[in-house]
């Protein structure tokens, strides 16, 4: 019998080996299932100190509440799996919520939101050997490149070596590339079509092989521009949701953009987090079902 969410701290304190035991017996599945599409719920934001949803600054800070939302989202038909850091994935393992699901570990979380070292995005999360040991199914990494920051070269090199290490283990790795810069002291991602195109071109060429590389891409406002973005590479891609706003109207507009982008041939699915786990109307199940319906 799986523990209750409220019992996780006690279980972790008294039986730390339970995580490895749960990972060893977890039922696995192929990355792409019968639908031919991929629907992943993302919850790796807290490890970067990014806890806000819309105007709620600490919306994701309550771990028990977050886990309840994740368990509900993962139970909905058509949801293939979850992207998160080790702490969250291991909670879900112990709860039995990852059976038959795609489990994607978040790899670099060193670029803490708002920190002076935010662009020094080191690999402080899952290592390739961790993902293999725990029998997880894929990894995800964030690649932000600032043309004015020499440290971006270090991040690029670390990303390339991570891609190589994942390929050696035949594990897919989802690369989320951006051209970024500091504006008024804050890191901003450039979402203009040309900038996204350049980031895709750079990310696609990293590593000694691209056989196991996927891309995780933002959706541009212009459908024609999004088509040009996807023409930059033959690598399979998923769309990231991002923070779509705090109103029902903003959420509906995001769904419309996702639906158009999902028609592009290289796009294989969605990886969406806050907008589904914390929807404007509070109905997690309905938000998840709507996103699944777009596929």
63 against 185, higher pLDDT: 63
Tens of pLDDT, residue by residue over 130-179, are 999 999 999 999 999 999 998 899 999 999 999 999 999 999 999 999 99
Structure tokens at 218: 């933002």
Superfamily for domain range 38-294: Aldolase class I (3.20.20.70)
Amino acid 233: pLDDT? 96
Averaged pLDDT score across all residues of the chain: 94
Amino acid 245: pLDDT? 66
CA separation, residue 189 to residues 108, 194, 198, 239 (Å): 17, 12, 13, 16
E strand intervals along the chain: 38-42, 81-84, 102-106, 138-145, 173-183, 186-189, 213-217, 237-240, 267-272
pLDDT-derived band at 196, boundaries 50, 70, 90: very high
Taking the domains of the chain in order of start, what are their residue ranges? 38-294
CA separation, residue 150 to residues 36, 99, 108, 248 (Å): 40, 43, 18, 41
Q: Does the structure show a pLDDT above 90 at 81?
A: yes
8-state DSSP, 238: E
Cα separation, 209 vs 287, whole angstroms: 37
Q: What is the largest CA-CA distance in the chain?
A: 55
Cα separation, 165 vs 186, whole angstroms: 32
Structure tokens at 212: 């196991």
Q: Does the structure show a pLDDT above 70 at 1?
A: no
Tens of pLDDT, residue by residue over 198-243, are 999 999 999 999 999 999 999 988 889 999 999 999 999 999 986 6
Structure tokens at 258: 């996702």
CA separation, residue 123 to residues 116, 126, 149 (Å): 17, 8, 18
């Amino acid at each position: 019998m799986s523990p209750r969410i409220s019992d996780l701290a006690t279980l972790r304190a008294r039986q730390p080996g339970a995580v490895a035991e749960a990972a060893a017996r977890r039922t696995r599945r192929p990355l792409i299932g019968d639908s031919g599409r991929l629907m992943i719920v993302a919850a790796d934001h807290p490890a970067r100190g990014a806890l806000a949803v819309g105007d709620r600054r600490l919306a994701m800070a309550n771990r028990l509440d977050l886990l309840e939302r994740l368990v509900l989202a993962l139970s909905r038909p058509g949801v293939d799996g979850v992207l998160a850091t080790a702490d969250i994935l291991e909670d879900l393992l112990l709860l039995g919520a990852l059976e038959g699901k795609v489990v994607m570990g978040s790899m670099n979380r060193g670029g803490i939101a708002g920190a002076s070292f935010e662009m020094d995005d080191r690999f402080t999360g899952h290592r390739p050997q961790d993902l293999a040991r725990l029998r997880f199914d894929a990894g995800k990494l964030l690649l932000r490149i600032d043309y004015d920051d020499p440290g971006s070269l270090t991040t690029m090199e670390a990303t390339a070596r991570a891609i190589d290490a994942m390929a050696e283990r035949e594990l897919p790795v989802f690369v989320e590339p951006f051209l970024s810069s500091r504006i008024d002291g804050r890191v901003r991602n450039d979402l203009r079509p040309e900038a996204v195109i350049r980031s895709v071109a750079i990310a696609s060429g990293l590593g000694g092989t691209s056989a196991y590389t996927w891309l995780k891409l933002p959706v541009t406002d212009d459908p024609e521009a999004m088509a040009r973005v996807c023409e930059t590479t033959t690598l399979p891609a998923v769309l990231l949701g991002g923070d779509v706003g705090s109103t029902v109207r903003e959420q509906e507009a995001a769904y419309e953009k996702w639906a158009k982008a999902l028609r592009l041939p290289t796009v294989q699915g969605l990886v969406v987090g806050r907008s589904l786990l914390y929807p404007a109307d509070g109905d997690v199940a309905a938000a998840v079902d709507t996103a699944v319906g777009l596929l």
